[in-house]
Amino acid sequence: MMLADFHVHSTFSDGKLTIPAVVDLYGQRGFGAIAITDHVGESRTVIGKAAGHLGLCLTKATFPLYLEILKSEAERAWRLYRMVVIPGVELSKNSISNYRSAHIIALGIKKFMSADGDVADIARNIRNEGAISIAAHPVDSGKFEKQTYHLWNRRFELAQAFDAWEVASGDRLFPEVLNSSLPKIASSDLHIARHMTSWKTLLDCERHPEAILDSIKKQKLSFRFYRDSKNDNIHSDIHSGYGSLVESRSYRSSFGDYRQSLA
Amino acid sequence: MWSLGVIVHLLGTIVSLWPEKSTRQNPPNIFWEPISILKPLKGCDSGLEENLSTFLDLDYPSYELLFSVASLEDPAYMVAKKIIERNPQIAAKLIVAPVNLGPNPKVNNMVRAYEQARNDLVLISDSNVRVDKGYLKQISRYMRDKKVGMVTSVISGIHGEGLGGKLEAIFLNSFYARWMKLLFRFGKPCVVGKSMLFRKSTAQRFGGINVLARYLAEDYMAGQAIKKLGLQVVLASEPVPQIIGKLQFKDFWLRHIRWGRIRKSQVFLAFLIEPVLFSFNSCFFGAVFLETILDSNPVFTFLAQIMIWFLLDVPTLVKSGVKPNCRAFLVWALRESLAFPLWINIAFGNTVQWRGKQLKLEGGGLLVTA
């Protein structure tokens, strides 16, 4: 069994940690796999362009460096921690309206992917490139941030277009997604070290990118709430060190009907 | 707008003159890590032989020189060959192995030399810089700190001849020096490829210099990549003199169009606010403002502000070896008056001329051959 987090940001977009710092953060805590998923904004909208100019998202120009650093850090993560690092992006369609905004995670990418166009086409492109697509925080995330409801509003039409839908983001579990029959995944949407205390995905597969992505597609996974003692002072008494990984509360015990719905 | 320009100018002057803490003194009997110096050459720069010769007897225990040219026909080939033949005691090589990894001709020129560099510590040094004996020790001492990933230097312009050369020298020794130090002070490194020291092992972590061949400002992008790795990019306290030589006005203009379009492409928002920071624009708004509230003579207040602005630049100029006389003021004023017309020209266009090539810039400094 290994803990995994498939939604993590770095300084290549709006995260506060560099990629090497992210790798060390997860590696030192014994995680088995992470995906670094920095934002890619739309190239034709004012919001997307502004985000690019402000360095809040990846651009065609910064992407080659991003991919190279991910490659070298994946090697380092494996060498030091036996942890798999999967290259990803979060294709971010941001509009003034939350109902027109959508974030789509692509995992296992090999080249730059555009956030332009309709979400169904984007999801199709992701699969055509051999990557997998995840609907990121499709419902109210409960945080003071941009909300993205577009995918959820089109969930019946897009149900098959995505390999997984985030059932949790950060420390918040989404009952709407949980109670649906959609394929699921839980991630932290980590931007700062403190976000380590959040829902994670638990996998039981070989520590290899293909095996990990296959487990997501086949939904051979469960979710755990991870409480990080080093970056969470409030709960520092629960664990003696940050090597203590998983709190006992898990989705499986709390929401036993989920396996049935999957079947 | 007036006050923003004035505040930034004052801040820049203070920062550029602020004495550096003397915490990086060289302790005795320390190990100086061997360095490979890459010298990408293209054509005969002004005083090329003299410039390259300053690298022959540096006060440093172990270093090698790797000259690279793109073709045997390049006049710099014979100059480098002569230097190597005359100085067999120096570990030096001349590499002619053009590659085409991307549109950036400088990176293409030096990739093979980079691959052949024997040492982990690599210095990329342009052909038009002239250094003193202690240069390598001055810059390599910063690399002893494991948090430092790259060291670059402020360039000071010397031996500028012709109108273009004089404008270039005054630009490098005033506006450029001030801004470079200001940006570093506020954690926004702007690396200059004329003097760039880093580790090959660090560069491998972002794909090596090969990956930089697609950018116009390979130096700036290298600095950004180092920063993304969580390492520091530091500015050496000593400037590196660049031999400007004879430049026509057109050379100066085209060079600044290229620099400006790099800035526009890579830091667009900063480029947008540049006009507010130009002395003539700022002083113009100041004159209008003072006329409105004090009913002062706008021509007088404009000229008075320009003079104050120049006087604030004098210490930076003197530090770079420029005598602050009437001629220096006139060249300075001409350079300042050209800043806004240049900016307008830069704003309308995406192509640049570089080393005889017409190149097109895309967002983020990506290059495509036009």
- Spell out the domains of chain A, with CATH numbers in brackets: 2-262 (3.20.20.140)
Residue-wise pLDDT for B213-255, tens only, equals 999 889 999 999 999 999 999 999 888 999 998 999 999 999 9
Regarding whether B226 and B272 lie in a shared domain, the answer is no
- Identify the pLDDT of residue B199: 97
Kindly state the percentage of chain B with pLDDT values over 90.
Answer: 57
Task: For residue B147, give every residue at least 6 positions away whose Cβ sits within 8 Å of its Cβ, in sequence order, or none.
Answer: B231, B232
Q: Residue B40, Cβ neighbours under 10 Å: how many?
A: 25
Using pLDDT thresholds of 50, 70 and 90, give the confidence band for residue B16.
confident
Residue-wise pLDDT for A185-208, tens only, equals 999 999 999 999 999 999 999 999
Tokens representing B241 are 């003199």
Domain boundary among B246, B261, B280: B246
B175 domain residue, yes or no: no
- Identify the pLDDT of residue B124: 97
CATH of the domain at B94: 3.90.550.10
Regarding whether B347 and B225 lie in a shared domain, the answer is no
B170 domain residue, yes or no: no
Regarding whether B217 and B111 lie in a shared domain, the answer is yes
Regarding whether B345 and B309 lie in a shared domain, the answer is yes
Regarding whether B268 and B119 lie in a shared domain, the answer is no
Q: How many CA atoms lie within 13 A of B1 on its CB side?
A: 17
B184 domain residue, yes or no: no
B208 domain residue, yes or no: yes
CA A212 – CA B123 distance, rounded (Å)? 42
Minimal Cβ distance to B228: which of A11, A61, A71: A11
Instruction: Indicate the helix (H) or strand (E) that contains A46.
Output: helix A46-53
B103 domain residue, yes or no: yes
Residue-wise pLDDT for B255-311, tens only, equals 999 889 988 888 888 889 888 888 898 889 888 888 888 888 999 999 998 999 899
Q: Give the CA radius of gyration of chain B.
A: 21
B305 domain residue, yes or no: yes
Tell which of A11, A59, A65, A73 to mutate to test the B interface (max B CBs under 10 Å): A65
Regarding whether B237 and B261 lie in a shared domain, the answer is no
Tell which of A9, A16, A68, A79 to mutate to test the B interface (max B CBs under 10 Å): A68
- Residue contacts between A and B (CB atoms, under 8 Å): 59
Regarding whether B297 and B282 lie in a shared domain, the answer is yes
Residue-wise pLDDT for B67-96, tens only, equals 999 999 999 999 999 999 999 999 999 999
Backbone angles phi, psi at A76, to 5 degrees: -65, -40
Tokens representing A157 are 């039409």
Q: Is the torsion defined by CA of A216, A220, A223, A227 positive or negative?
A: negative
Regarding whether B339 and B231 lie in a shared domain, the answer is no
Residues of A in contact with B225 (CB under 8 A): 65, 69
B162 domain residue, yes or no: no
Domain boundary among B246, B269, B289: B246
Residue-wise pLDDT for B120-160, tens only, equals 999 999 999 999 999 999 999 999 999 999 999 999 999 88
CA B368 – CA B354 distance, rounded (Å)? 12
ipTM score for this prediction:
0.86
Regarding whether B227 and B323 lie in a shared domain, the answer is no
- Identify the pLDDT of residue B274: 87
The mean predicted confidence, pLDDT, of chain B is 89
Regarding whether B238 and B339 lie in a shared domain, the answer is no
Q: Is the torsion defined by CA of B164, B165, B166, B169 positive or negative?
A: positive
Distance of CA A66 to the CA centre of its chain: 17
Integer CA distances (angstroms), A189 to A167, A173, B21, B179, in order? 12, 13, 41, 37
Using pLDDT thresholds of 50, 70 and 90, give the confidence band for residue B14.
confident
Could you list the residue range(s) of the whole structural domain that residue B113 is in?
31-153+192-246
Regarding whether B200 and B65 lie in a shared domain, the answer is yes
Counting the structural domains of chain B, the total is: 2
Regarding whether B266 and B126 lie in a shared domain, the answer is no
- Identify the pLDDT of residue B129: 94
B295 domain residue, yes or no: yes
Interface of chain B toward chain A, CB-CB under 8 angstroms? 204-207, 211, 214-215, 221, 224-225, 227-230, 266, 268-269, 362-366
